[in-house]
Amino acid sequence: MKDELIRKDLKYVWHPYTQMKDCESLPPVPVARAEGVRLYDYDGNFYYDTVSSWWCNVHGHNHPAIKSAIKEQLDSLEHVLFAGFTHRPAVELAERLVAITPPGLAKVFYSDNGSTAVEAAMKMSFQYWQNTGKEGKTRFLSLDMAYHGDTVGTMSISGVGLFNERYRPLFFDSFKAPTPYCYRCPCGREKGKCALECLSRAEEILKENADTIAAVVIEPLLMGAGGMIVYPVEYLKGIWELSRKYGVHLIADEVATGFGRTGKMFACEHAGIEPDLMCLSKGITSGYLPMGATLATEEIFRAFYDDYDKLKTFYHGHTFTANPISCAAARASIDLFEEEKTLEKVPEINGKLVSFLEEMAELPIVGDIRSIGAVGAMELVKDRKTKEPFGMKERVGDEVYRRGLEKSLLLRPLGNVIYFFLPLCIKGDEMDDVFRRAGEVIGSVAYLVRSS
């Protein structure tokens, strides 16, 4: 079964973010089933899902409550168009989302993934200014190492060079502020010993261009695909204050950080900020089904609310908007946060994660460690003093990935950054086992690098 699956996969399938030639030596792992934090292949081998299946699984695989919500919904309504029609799962979920997100967010616009949730927020902000007579506010400010998705619009405001550079001719122009990447400070300062000079640069851009900027778009506190960069709460707070001062929207992209991953339900809560638009996906259904949501303030919503012939309608939507089964999964997942006291588990996860990272920091190839909530990362470098990174040819992150699989770990790297994006259901003994195995893998790669 397994060999046949792989043969047909390589014959018919094109995988995302994958150089398919690599599959000649390392074909994709066929997963037969999953349970809790473990993925099982057809031979009964397991892999710890240390990256929550691309940052979305929250309560564990095969959770009976989410499964039964899905099955129950399937028995009554699988899908219906969402223009002119509505249904209970979408209405109830919207009410729940408004209740648990930061104050001010009042309306929920559904879509089906993270990129579309951000794209919808950008279009809402842009059109808000058109509808309210400030037609010049058409541009966006984002961070130069941000990741907001893979559509051309969201790539235009992203900055992860490896993913984006090739498509640059397709992008629209946007403003980029330096990333508060403390390990490699763009302002040449030392981690923890600065006056947030990077924030001053963002302010300069806003001051000079506020009349052409619609919104600032930001991943609150944790920049995922940029390298699991964790930045200071003061920076996030500062960006929000600047957005108020210069009259631009703040779009909080909580696609990765939402639903408990940073220790609070939403990362914005750490800074006590109230974004104008918030983008959700991934963990919204605990990773069981695709879903995106863009939340907007009443003020933004009202700018679109008028007679039909005034042409203020938000002409945007996707076929699977508010899919009832996805909504049912999301409702069940939000219920579980209360029933299983999910957020209360995060401090223990963070404690173990930090101890492990501190241990790893002793290795000569570990240049930086960073963490927030259930997310932790280490950046591997060739030289700790100069912070020289490993090159494309060395593929040190990929070596960790390959060795990880041999030790039952799914350690998918982001270039030279090895990270853990743990499901919030992970238990203490499971973490001990994960970190013991990961320590062996990373230690062996450090040894290999030093002896080569």
Ligand X SMILES: Cc1ncc(COP(=O)(O)O)c(C=O)c1O
Least Å distance between CB 388 and ligand X? 27
Amino acid identity of residue 19, one-letter, is: Q
Report the C-alpha gap between 232 and 238 in whole angstroms: 10
- For ligand X, the closer CB: 255 or 441: 255
Report which residue's Cβ sits closest to ligand X.
114
Report the C-alpha gap between 190 and 170 in whole angstroms: 36
Least Å distance between CB 147 and ligand X? 5
Least Å distance between CB 342 and ligand X? 20
User: Which residues lie near ligand X (CB under 6 A)?
Assistant: 113-115, 118, 147-150, 219, 224-225, 253, 255-256, 281
Least Å distance between CB 423 and ligand X? 16
- Closest to 186 in 3D by CA, of 175, 195, 197: 197
Which of 17, 167, 305, 447 is flagged as catalytic? 17
Contacts of 434 (CB under 8 A, 6+ apart): 48, 50, 409, 420, 426
Which of 128, 147, 231, 419 is flagged as catalytic? 147
Q: What is the CA radius of gyration of the chain?
A: 22
Tell me whether residue 383 is one of the annotated catalytic residues.
no
Least Å distance between CB 443 and ligand X? 29
Report whether 313 contacts 304 (CB < 8 A): yes
- For ligand X, the closer CB: 121 or 328: 121
Which of 137, 176, 264, 282 is flagged as catalytic? 282
Tell me whether residue 253 is one of the annotated catalytic residues.
yes
Least Å distance between CB 117 and ligand X? 7
Least Å distance between CB 150 and ligand X? 6
- For ligand X, the closer CB: 259 or 356: 259
- For ligand X, the closer CB: 112 or 399: 112
- For ligand X, the closer CB: 150 or 368: 150
- For ligand X, the closer CB: 255 or 438: 255
Tell me whether residue 112 is one of the annotated catalytic residues.
no
- For ligand X, the closer CB: 73 or 281: 281
Tell me whether residue 282 is one of the annotated catalytic residues.
yes
Least Å distance between CB 114 and ligand X? 2
- For ligand X, the closer CB: 256 or 278: 256
Which of 112, 253, 276, 368 is flagged as catalytic? 253
Residues recognised as catalytic = 17, 147, 253, 282
